[in-house]
Amino acid sequence: MEGRTETPEAPPVAEKGRCHLEACDEPAAADLDDHPLCLQHFVAVSMREMDARNEKIKNESFETAVVKDFKKFLADCEAQARKLSEADTPDDARAKPRILELLRRISQLGRGFRRSPRFATSLPVWLRREDPSRTWEEETWTSSVSRHGAGFSCHHSVDIGGEVVLCRRDRGSRVRARVVYCRFDAEGRRQIGVELIDQDDFWDLEKLSTSVASYASPQ
């Protein structure tokens, strides 16, 4: 009609607002890596992607681009999951336990990131388990140290969350530590990481950083 402006036809809402996965016709509830996902698929894909990325960074010693991307991914997932957890619609209510589980997993992975600079260096230690039911001791060397922990090879089986004692062979000082990870490297050697209990700077990092500054990267 003359004098009337034609408005371009908008794309169908059903096409834009649906989960992008094939064979799923549910409405999109969140967006992951620019892909709209329904609530159920957002939780499932987020969990799977987090585990895959977490596995990928296990051998990353420092704040690499991969680690930074993972942190950003976790932050994005957390923001969207928290928003979904606050919804009160019937569909959201049915999925709320899974959303809460996703938030717990995000929190767990977030706590795993190192809280201080890490130095790749070899320091001689005695590693001990002082338990009446299973006591052992071995000599080993650190592969890396930080203000809050260390990583090294270990011949004995250890439990995640279990306590060990570290004794510096060069100084005789000792500290209790908690095992935070245990895995085998490509050569089949057991590598463990520990978090120091009730003591910081067991490694005298102020002096150490002067000689190995090139290995440091803030976390």
Domain chopping of the chain, boundaries? 13-111, 118-215
Residue 86: pLDDT band with limits 50, 70, 90: confident
Q: Which of 215, 136, 124 is nearest to 169 (CA)?
A: 124
Which residue would you say has higher pLDDT here, 110 or 192?
Answer: 192
Residue 176's region, left for phi above 0, alpha for psi from -120 to 50, else beta, is beta
Fold of 118-215: Thrombin, subunit H (2.40.10)
The model carries a pTM of 0.48
E-strand stretches of the chain? 30-32, 35-37, 118-119, 124-129, 136-146, 149-153, 163-168, 174-184, 190-196
* Per-residue pLDDT tens over the stretch 146-186: 878 899 999 999 988 899 999 999 888 999 999 988 888 88
65-85 vs 39-56: helix crossing angle, rounded to 10: 160
